[in-house]
Amino acid sequence: MNARQLEIFRAIMRDGSITAAANSLGISQPAVSKLLHHMESQLGYALFDRIGGRLVPTMEANLLFADADRVFREMEALKSLARDIGAQKIGLLRLGASLPVTYSVLPKALSAFRERQPEVKVHLHALPKREIAEALLLGDIDLAVTLSLIQAPTVRSEVLCEVPIVAVMRTDEPLAERAEITPADLDGKTLISYGAHAEIGASMDGAFAAAGRQRDVAIQIASSVGAVPLVREGLGIALVDGLVAWEDFEGLVARRFLPRISMQAVAATNEARPASRFVQPFLTCLKTVLNGQRLR
């Protein structure tokens, strides 16, 4: 299976037909059919059944696709790397950031960075942590900023600051009059928070258990910013990270949660990839913003 055949196979699996694959690749339908037929001949088995004028992937095709897609993406990353090396990455910084980071400190850090480096283009990927980690390992981004460590042999991580958990509620919630919220205060309240499987989940469960309570999450979220419309709608109180400037959202307030539980803002790079010369200047801006951020 060569690179062109891999591209054709991936396109057909993704687009669902030879015609659609040909359109997305910008080549003729007969060319796609010919390449697919040649590929199946080389493999010695069919990749698609022709049923009612439609292509239906065979079991063999489904088994191949996951790895074929990964290999293709790695090849694309390699091409991108080659281009970056040739251009010495002049004027480009590729960032991957979790949503809480994107909606809080990142805009100010980028503003400061671009004041100093106005010629630099920034590619920002706001993604869940798992996808950020994958992009970092593949070389699709130069720097990852998340709220927990990315565990991988070639990844170098730097903890930027501690990010405490806060209780976010509507301004008309009676508990909003308090400066601090404890597990006992949340008795009878609908809780919006991360699930027990989340990296911070065990610590939060432990805090409730120490207070003789159980953290019963009625609405589970993957990212803190997802709590905004839920809390605004009066669906409950959210226990989430304090990195986001919650008071910037009209009608919401954040209160300290005790006992103090913290997440970590982490910057990560992949030592197996050439380092962008813009990573450290951007990190300097980000650290300045974080140092000035009033975290509860």
Task: For residue range 98-131, list pLDDT tens digits in order.
Answer: 999 999 999 999 999 999 988 888 999 999 999 9
Distances 168 to 24, 99, 184, 282 between C-alpha atoms, Å: 45, 17, 16, 30
Separation between Cα atoms, residue 77 and residue 80, nearest integer Å: 5
**Are 222 and 271 in the same domain?**
no
At 296, the pLDDT band (50, 70, 90 cuts) reads very low
CATH number at residue 55: 1.10.10.10
For position 51, what pLDDT does the model report? 85
More confident residue, 86 or 186: 186
At 87, the pLDDT band (50, 70, 90 cuts) reads low
pLDDT at residue 152 is higher than 60? yes
Structure confidence by residue, pLDDT tens digits, 65-82 = 888 888 888 888 777 767
CA gyration radius, the chain: 24
**Are 81 and 97 in the same domain?**
no
**Are 254 and 136 in the same domain?**
no
Q: Please name the amino acid found at residue 115.
A: E
pLDDT at residue 263 is higher than 70? yes
In this prediction, residues 143-172 reach a mean pLDDT of: 94
**Are 45 and 123 in the same domain?**
no
Axis crossing angle, helix 18-25 with helix 29-43, rounded to the nearest 10? 110
The winner for highest mean pLDDT among 90-99, 179-188, 196-205, 285-294 is 179-188
What kind and span of H or E run contains 102? Answer: helix 99-102
Domain that holds residue 177: 163-262
Q: What is the CA 233 to chain-centroid distance, rounded? A: 26
Structure confidence by residue, pLDDT tens digits, 181-229 = 999 999 999 999 999 888 899 999 999 999 999 999 999 998 899 999 9
Q: Residues with Cβ < 8 Å from 188, sequence gap 6 or more?
A: none
**Are 132 and 168 in the same domain?**
no
Average predicted confidence (pLDDT) for the chain: 89
**Are 11 and 77 in the same domain?**
yes
**Are 281 and 134 in the same domain?**
yes
pLDDT at residue 275 is higher than 60? yes
Separation between Cα atoms, residue 216 and residue 221, nearest integer Å: 13
Work out the percent of the chain whose per-residue pLDDT is above 90. 56
At 295, the pLDDT band (50, 70, 90 cuts) reads very low
In this prediction, residues 139-165 reach a mean pLDDT of: 93
For position 241, what pLDDT does the model report? 94
Q: Residues with Cβ < 8 Å from 118, sequence gap 6 or more?
A: none
Q: Among residues 24, 56, 86, which one ends one of the domains?
A: 86
Among the listed residues 262, 77, 24, the one whose alpha carbon sits nearest the alpha carbon of residue 161 = 262
**Are 276 and 139 in the same domain?**
yes
Separation between Cα atoms, residue 73 and residue 50, nearest integer Å: 28
- How many domains are there within the chain? 3
Separation between Cα atoms, residue 116 and residue 281, nearest integer Å: 9
For position 294, what pLDDT does the model report? 44
Distances 47 to 18, 161, 167 between C-alpha atoms, Å: 13, 51, 53
pLDDT at residue 177 is higher than 90? yes
CATH number at residue 150: 3.40.190.10
**Are 216 and 274 in the same domain?**
no
**Are 95 and 59 in the same domain?**
no
In this prediction, residues 12-36 reach a mean pLDDT of: 89
Among the listed residues 53, 39, 51, 46, the one whose alpha carbon sits nearest the alpha carbon of residue 9 = 39
Separation between Cα atoms, residue 256 and residue 260, nearest integer Å: 8
Q: Please name the amino acid found at residue 184.
A: A
Q: Among residues 86, 106, 124, which one ends one of the domains?
A: 86
**Are 242 and 180 in the same domain?**
yes
Whether the bond between 164 and the residue before it is cis, its omega within 30 degrees of 0, is no
**Are 228 and 177 in the same domain?**
yes
